[in-house]
Amino acid sequence: MKDLSPKQDQILDFLRSFIEEKDYPPSIRDIQEGCAISSTSVVDYNLRKLEDKGYIRRDREISRGIEILGARGRRARIVEIPVLGSIAAGQPIPVPTSDRFGNDTQDMVAVTEDMVRGKTNVFALRVKGTSMIEDLIDDGDIVFLEPARSAVDGDKVAVWLKDREEVTLKRIYHEGDRVRLQPANSTMQPIYTSAENVEIQGKFISSFRPSD
């Protein structure tokens, strides 16, 4: 796992840029041409070296069976999260689409999965307004939520208010047969409504502030 020869370094660089551009690994002969090497066996030789040193992984007998390891290669699992819309701005958010891949032009953000704690089906919303400012959630923040239909008192949840036809982000408290939706902003009043009127959409996981 030490330093590598200039040629190996060159090959590694070529590997990266090739994959970056084409989205699939190069063949031995691609590398040969790309690095101006005279023989395929030289490429093979150095590839073995790189494998020994742990920089790449190769699937033998398989064309283009090269995988970059280490640093960039030991890639953390990356999840792409749809940004479904805005929250607490009065307008309804689109119902979480069937995901799969119909949502072509939809906003997406990608994060390492530890940023959403390995949860699945996480979605995101843009926060409008400062109703949760004391929970350090500001206007313009992006909040990550995991789908949920229920929550315990004090949870920060996105809820659908049937009568208002809007989604809002608040702390939730069950009080008998009604629900208190508590903003984290001392200048704002809680919303009291009936339990039937609220439909929990998701629970707060984490948040991101795009800019200053």
Partner DNA sequence: GTTCGGCGCGAACATGCGTTCGAAAGGCGC
Partner DNA sequence: GCGCCTTTCGAACGCATGTTCGCGCCGAAC
The reply to whether 2 sits near DNA by the rule CB under 7 A is: no
Active site residues per annotation: 131, 170
Give the residue among 202, 210, 209 at the shortest CA–CA distance from 87: 202
Contacts of 7 (CB under 8 A, 6+ apart): 35, 37, 42, 46
CA gap 113, 161 in Å, rounded = 30
| Nearest Cα to Cα of residue 121 among 140, 152, 100, 151 | 100
DSSP 8-state code for residue 116: G
CB of 102 or CB of 176, closer to a second copy: 102
Is residue 61 a contact point for DNA (CB under 7 A)?
A: yes
41 makes contact, choosing from a second copy, DNA, none, with CB < 5 to 8 Å by partner type, with DNA
From 60-68, 71-79, 170-178, 187-195, span contacting DNA (CB under 7 A): 60-68
Tell the smallest beta-carbon distance from residue 29 to a second copy (Å): 11
75/61 Cα distance (integer angstroms): 24
Q: Which C-beta is closer to a second copy: that of 34 or that of 92? A: 34
Q: Which positions from 21 to 50 touch DNA by CB under 7 A, shown as an x/- string?
A: ------xxxx------xxxxxx-xxx--x-
Q: Which residues bind a second copy (CB under 8 A)?
A: 22-25, 27, 59, 62-68, 70-72, 74-76, 78, 80, 101-104, 108-112, 114-115, 117, 133, 136-138, 156, 204-212
Cα–Cα dist 44/149, whole Å: 55
Instruction: Say which residues have a Cβ less than 8 Å from residue 83's Cβ, sequence separation at least 6.
Output: 106, 107, 108, 109, 123, 124, 125, 126, 142
Partner whose footprint covers residue 24, from DNA, a second copy, none (CB < 5 to 8 Å by kind): a second copy
Per CB under 7 A, does 60 bind DNA? Answer: yes
Nearest one of 36, 40, 39 to 27, comparing CA atoms? 40
Indicate which of a second copy, DNA, none lies near residue 61 (CB less than 5 to 8 Å, by partner kind). DNA
